Homo-oligomer: A and B are copies of this chain.
Amino acid sequence: MRAAVEATGQLDERGRLRHLLALEGLPRALVEELLGSAARFAAAPRARHATLAGRTVANLFFEPSTRTRASFELAAQRLGATTLNLEAERSSAVKGETLEDTLLNLQAMGVDAFVVRHAAAGVHARLAAVARPGVAIVNAGEANVSHPTQGLLDALTIRAHKGADLARLTVAICGDLRHSRVAASATAVLTTLGVGELRLVAPRELLPDAARGARCFDDLDAGLTGCDVIMMLRIQRERITSLSVPDDAEYHRRFGLTAARLALARPDCIVMHPGPVNRGVELASEVMDGPRSVILEQVANGVAVRMAVLDALLGRGG
């Protein structure tokens, strides 16, 4: 988990959201406002709105994605926006154009917001730096640095089950923390919201370099004991070069969440996962499909959170 720089420039001079680049540095009041808006959207999932009518939201994904792109596209459509899917892998980049120039071009065509996923850290900030006033950059995944809408949907889901005051909660994030932008953004938002205790639980080789106020555990049983919320993470094998990471079966034996291990947590503990889940590796099917799993609620909340973000960015007349 890289330490994300506090993103500058994502608020305008009046403190309103101008881009969503990172959760680090966002004022708590603004986070609460976004979560409140998202909760209202989540409560009426079939409702359609017109606050983004006449606006165009472009998906610019430089890493493959089905679910996050779909979630943003559905969010934009439910607000009345037109959506545009840009095939970034096939883009002008191959013809020698800079990323900034690609953005300037698409912006000149009248795109109002860019939902961007990129494997390189810092791309979103570079794009925000050249976007013209009124055009928003939304971070939909940045290297292993941040994934702010995921962090917000995690917070929304926790609050839906545990209430708005997180001060008495113990939350454990477990798994491949070193390579996880999800963990980075969850850590940021939970810290902002004043979570009681945050635990990072992973095999030693997958713990992050910096704990940033969290307690670290390299033993899953110890890490889970007494928790209110467990967030499991997928092993990002595509980002791992070390040979010391155990294979799937060994990983499951040491760090997979089973019903037996879940019993170490509080009885009303909820189980979360950003997906996609590798059943039988980080999460046993009995837990994933069990009564404490809120994984599909997270997915539904993802659309609501993205509606709230797009509405905050574009819904005021931009």
Contact with B along A100-142 (1 / 0, CB 8 A): 0110111011110000000000000000000000000000000
If the complex has contacts A66-B87, A95-B234, are A74 and B109 also in contact, measured as CB distance less than 8 A? yes
Contact with B along A260-287 (1 / 0, CB 8 A): 0000000000000001111101000000
A204 within 8 A of B: no
A46 within 8 A of B: yes
B66 touches A102 (CB 8 A): yes
- A275, A276, A278, most chain B CB atoms within 10 A: A276
User: Which of B71, B77, B101 touches A276 (beta carbons < 8 Å)?
Assistant: B101
B97 touches A302 (CB 8 A): no
14 contacts between A and B (CB under 8 A): A48-B54, A56-B77, A66-B90, A66-B102, A67-B92, A70-B109, A78-B110, A96-B278, A102-B276, A104-B296, A105-B275, A108-B299, A109-B299, A109-B303
A86 within 8 A of B: yes
In chain A, positions 23-71 with a C-beta closer than 8 Å to chain B are 45-46, 48, 54, 56, 58, 64-67, 70-71
- Determine the residue in chain B with the shortest Cβ distance to A54: B48
